[in-house]
Structure 1
Amino acid sequence: MSEAPATRNTSGRGWLYLLIASAVLTQGGLNLIRPVTTYKLVGLGADSFLVGVVTAFYALVPLFAAIWLGRMSDRLNNLRPMVALGAVVLAIGAAGIALGNSFILIAIFSAVLGLGHLLFTIGGQAAIARRSSPAEMDRGFGWFTAAFSVGQMIGPLLAGIILGSELVSDAADRLDSVNIALWVGCGLTLAAAPLFLSPKTLSGTTPRRTSPKTGGSSDTREMTTTKPTMCNILKRPGVMSHMFASLALLGMLDILTAFLPLLAEEVGVSPAAVGLLLALRGAASIVSRVLLPWLSSRLSHTSLLLWSLYGAGLALVIPPLLMAMFPPADGGELTLLLCGLCMLFGGIFLGLGQPLTMTEVSTSVPPAWRGSALAVRLMGNRLGQVALPLLAGVFAAPLGPGAAIVMASGFLLISGAEKSIRKRRK
């Protein structure tokens, strides 16, 4: 019988700090690029449905590549090239969107952008899952996703600063500023690649071969006889439920990023204000993700996930309804203040869910399957990122862009209800 791979713990967290720094840069650039892409599409004459279609393209290539890249991450001796390549591909996608002057080109390079994000995320998640013990995963994934939230705060703020606080009657007049913002995002993502020039970064992370006697009973025996195919991973107890929760949480992030600028254009809210609202959401998620190790030592993962899904769903359904009933352009400054508070509360709850689903999926499979399992989770996320924006565009076309955000909140509440039912059955 062949020996099975097991996870190796290594001393020192220098690799994790470099990974976190690169996550801040890449996610800062990505979250500058994505809302600005909506403004570019509007400037070129896109409607709500077309914005949804282009947003779906972001996840189209990753949807088909996730499993293959996850298996590759399990086989790689060093994850450094995968993570660095992700940063470079992100920059290429940003440059293509900046140079593109048609909906087709912007959609194609949005797909390139999504592929870069997938490469970076799979490499980073696999490094944490491979180098961390189960007890340390909440900390590793919490810090990694907190870095994503820092980027989600910085990116929209920079976008708002570059695009300005002035409302523009003709969106096409803003295209020069939009393209400048896209090039800034390109530079941020590309700046992450040099952090992985050091041969020590994410090196020595190959799973160590150990004897089945020391590798751990049933999971080890399963590793030696069963391949980590998508079907085998999905059959593991709880995996599909965790994937649905992850899909709903990430779908809300995507729809907020794509449709909040569109809603703002309709009700007379400036890009700077939109950037601030999205940044508040990102800042709140930083707090909850940094506190995750402390919270998970006091509450079960199931309870925290329920708080995340219900809390985010209820908090984030309010801003589009407020903007529709009390348009800020009519002097409703209180509307923006209340929307900001909802984004803060929603961000706190939204921030908890993703690292928890990473830990839950990782610990639901044998150690040698973790890269593949996280890739299956990402594939589920990308499926949601294709389907939900398209569905959101269908809702938004007759009902307005606010309906897309309401729909995403509904998916969060449905996922919470599913987990509540599962909890009662145990």
Structure 2
Amino acid sequence: MLIVVVPVYGLQLGASPLVLGAVLSAQYLLPLALAIPLGGVVSRFGGRATLITGASLMVAGLLAMHFWPGFGGLVLGQLLVGLAHLQMVLAAQTIIANLGTGPRLEKYFGWYSTWLSGGQVIGPLLAGLLLNASGTAYVFLVMAAFALVAGLVGLWLTGQATERIQVTRKQAGFRAQWALMQSNRGVQLSVLVTVLGMFALGVYGSYLPVYLESLAISPVIIGVLVSLRAVVSMVIRPFMASIIQLAGGRVNTVFLSLVTVSAGIAFLGATEQVVVMGLLAVLVGIGSGLTQPLSMVILAESVDRAKRSGALGMRLMANRAIHFLAPLMFGLLLELGGFALAFGASGVAIAAALPIGRKLFKP
């Protein structure tokens, strides 16, 4: 829901493209610094405790946006929500990563990301309806209620979700993750895929609502177009294992997916037709639907269990770093040359990195 609400709310407050980029990037500032340390926290205290704490923090951030109108509350809320989301995602991914290997793990991460996409489908649609009906009067309270429910559901997690692993700083700290990044080919591939895929999603999610708002398109249609990408991702993810076989392996699937994402982003700012933008959203949905769960599977199978939370934290740090930088870079391009240049350059940047990745990671 925030993916629609924050850009629209920022525009209502009179934010310029560059200021809006800074507001959107604020959500990823704390995760950028704390992702790796939180990996150790998940190992030491267990996934359930970390997830419940994250849900509580998310409620606090959303209430800050509601009760403190203006940029102050918006930025504070973005900071808290960003940290909360990191905790919840890292806890969930660690729990799932410990459940299996091979096709079984592909299946588990496929279904995990399918349910995530389900939320990304319903959220923007609901946000669009609420904005259309009552503006921003109640939308943050509704989101806080959903976060509260997530925390309460977390109380029922059992089994491996409650297990604690004693890890040292040597195993989970920054130096350990940097050494892992330098030496482990699977971790390198996972981080590369994460950076490229998240750059595309950061640009798409942060500025598609702004672009549509500039075309005087209604909030409901904005919600539909943002949700369409998530619908496609949700539909394709349960078939991930079969697609990998047809493509000739995980690496081939990853690069074909990134080509699809690149094409969808590059041409998005060149049209004002809703139908064409819908087709481009489908391309982005297909590519992003496969790249993110695949990057998690590749990383989970590349490290042993004691190092897994820290490695997932490093992947999420790269994820949040590009989420932090993408809106700022896109906002600067938007100031210089408009939406056509900004979307086009973003798609070209993703495509330009693919030959490097193909050379480094031949299947």
> TM-score over 0.5 for the alignment?
yes
- Residues 284 and 344 in structure 1, CA contact (< 8 A), matched pair in contact too: yes
- CA deviations over 1:59-78 (Å, ceiling 9, x no partner): 000111101110122223x3
**Match of 1:180?**
138
Tell me the CA shift for residue 377 of structure 1: 0.4
Equivalent residue runs for 1:260-409 within 5 Å: 260-298=208-246, 299-323=248-272, 335-409=273-347
Equivalent AA in structure 1 for residue 264 of structure 2: A
Further displaced range: 304-313 or 256-265: 256-265
Q: 1:88 to 1:406 in 2, by over 3 A?
A: farther
**Match of 2:129?**
161
Q: 1:284 to 1:391 in 2, by over 3 A?
A: same
Aligned-partner Cα distance in 1 for 2:340–2:188? 29
1:192 is paired with a residue whose SS is: helix
**Match of 1:44?**
13
Aligned-partner Cα distance in 1 for 2:193–2:48? 29
Equivalent AA in structure 1 for residue 181 of structure 2: L
Further displaced range: 52-61 or 136-145: 136-145
**Match of 2:120?**
152
Equivalent residue runs for 1:204-243 within 5 Å: 205-206=163-164, 227-228=171-172, 229-235=176-182, 236-243=184-191
Tell me the CA shift for residue 301 of structure 1: 0.6
- Residues 74 and 369 in structure 1, CA contact (< 8 A), matched pair in contact too: no
Aligned-partner Cα distance in 2 for 1:253–1:91? 24
Tell me the CA shift for residue 135 of structure 1: 3.9
2:217 is paired with a residue whose SS is: coil
Is 2:158 aligned against 1:200?
yes
Tell me the CA shift for residue 407 of structure 1: 3.6
1:227 is paired with a residue whose SS is: helix
Tell me the CA shift for residue 186 of structure 1: 1.7
Is 2:65 aligned against 1:97?
yes
5+ residue gaps, structure 2, are: none
Equivalent AA in structure 2 for residue 84 of structure 1: I
Tell me the CA shift for residue 282 of structure 1: 0.5
Aligned-partner Cα distance in 2 for 1:301–1:401? 33
Aligned-partner Cα distance in 1 for 2:256–2:123? 27
**Match of 1:247?**
195
Equivalent AA in structure 1 for residue 4 of structure 2: P
- Residues 268 and 344 in structure 2, CA contact (< 8 A), matched pair in contact too: no
Is 2:97 aligned against 1:129?
yes
Q: 1:371 to 1:398 in 2, by over 3 A?
A: same
Aligned-partner Cα distance in 2 for 1:98–1:404? 31
Is 2:32 aligned against 1:67?
no
- Residues 260 and 402 in structure 1, CA contact (< 8 A), matched pair in contact too: no
- Residues 309 and 415 in structure 1, CA contact (< 8 A), matched pair in contact too: no
- CA deviations over 1:308-346 (Å, ceiling 9, x no partner): 1001110232222112xxxxxxxxxxx111211221122
More helix by share: 2
Further displaced range: 83-92 or 106-115: 83-92
Equivalent AA in structure 1 for residue 148 of structure 2: L
- CA deviations over 1:350-378 (Å, ceiling 9, x no partner): 11000111111222223321111110000
- Residues 4 and 128 in structure 2, CA contact (< 8 A), matched pair in contact too: no
Aligned-partner Cα distance in 2 for 1:366–1:56? 33
Tell me the CA shift for residue 404 of structure 1: 3.7
Report sequence identity in percent.
25
Equivalent AA in structure 2 for residue 318 of structure 1: F
Tell me the CA shift for residue 156 of structure 1: 0.8
5+ residue gaps, structure 1, are: 1-31, 166-175, 210-222, 324-334
**Bigger-Rg structure (1/2):** 1
- Residues 124 and 223 in structure 2, CA contact (< 8 A), matched pair in contact too: yes
Tell me the CA shift for residue 402 of structure 1: 4.8
How many residues were matched structurally?
357
Equivalent AA in structure 2 for residue 355 of structure 1: P
Alignment root-mean-square deviation, CA? 2.2
Equivalent AA in structure 2 for residue 195 of structure 1: V
